Amino acid sequence: MPVLNIPGKHISISNSSDILRYLYATTYAVDPERAKFLEPSPEAVKWEAKIDQMGDDIRAFVYYHVSILSIKIFFESIFIIIFRLSLPLKIRTSAP
């Protein structure tokens, strides 16, 4: 994830869309003509929303599966420990 650290202001911006908006606003304040290429178009805003939603969906999918896998591994480990503890100990003796 990109992060824009603004020197002297102790501000960091971590969302790509927010970084672009910040750059647009600060550039526009100095030179509106130069800032035109940063101006968000309706189509770009629509794409940003779609991509943000995809990111949220992927994050939820990964978190869900990682948590399920963690729970599964936890219970499998508990089962193995309990199973091993319940096995009778066999002591081998050598035949005379």
For 56-80, the DSSP string reads HHHHHHHHHHHHHHHHHHHHHHHHH
What does the pLDDT look like over 3-27, one tens digit per residue?
Answer: 999 988 889 998 888 999 999 999 9
The confidence score (pLDDT) of residue 52 equals: 86
Q: What confidence tier does 30 reach under pLDDT thresholds 50, 70, 90?
A: very high
What tokens appear for 91 in the block? Answer: 């002591």
Q: How far is CA 18 from CA 24, 30, 85, in A?
A: 10, 19, 56
What tokens appear for 24 in the block? Answer: 């647009």
What does the pLDDT look like over 34-92, one tens digit per residue?
Answer: 999 899 899 989 998 998 899 889 989 988 888 888 888 888 887 777 777 666 656 55
Residues linked to residue 11 through DSSP beta bridges, in sequence order:
6
Contact 13, 4 (CB under 8 A): yes
